[in-house]
Amino acid sequence: MDKQVTYDNEAEMGYIYLAEPYKYKISYTEELPQNNDIMLDFCNDVPIIGIELAGATAIKIKHLVDTVHIFKKATTADNDIFYSFRLHDKSVKQSVTHPDTAKIVFHFSDADCLDFIGIDIYDTDSYDETFLIGG
């Protein structure tokens, strides 16, 4: 099983994989407009392959290195399934999306989007549940 979180100590960069890393090719990378510590790797086959993290945001995931199945399956009030990842249980103060994908939501514990705390993936058709949460 491929790990979902990596951290490069030398570069001080972290990475969260949303899809199997060797199955897809990155088409382009863009920053999340609200937080330049978060860079999104886009693909033609899945909306976002993975998320590059820098600075203080990267350090937050360092304890999850080599972890698999960091996401949990959840349901909305309308009983729609989504995948959710949280670093901790702080209250969400701000949720944002990238203009190229509205079905992946980034959560922050502050209104300025500096304290990253998690991700929700509502595009369940594009992502492999086995990779995200296990079989």
Give the model confidence (pLDDT) of 16-54 as tens digits. 999 998 899 999 999 999 999 999 999 999 999 999 999
Distance CA 55, CA 43 (A): 24
Which residue carries 């999104």 as its tokens? 40
Is the pLDDT at 1 greater than 70? The verdict is no
- Could you read off the pLDDT of 53-62 as tens digits, one per residue? 999 899 999 9
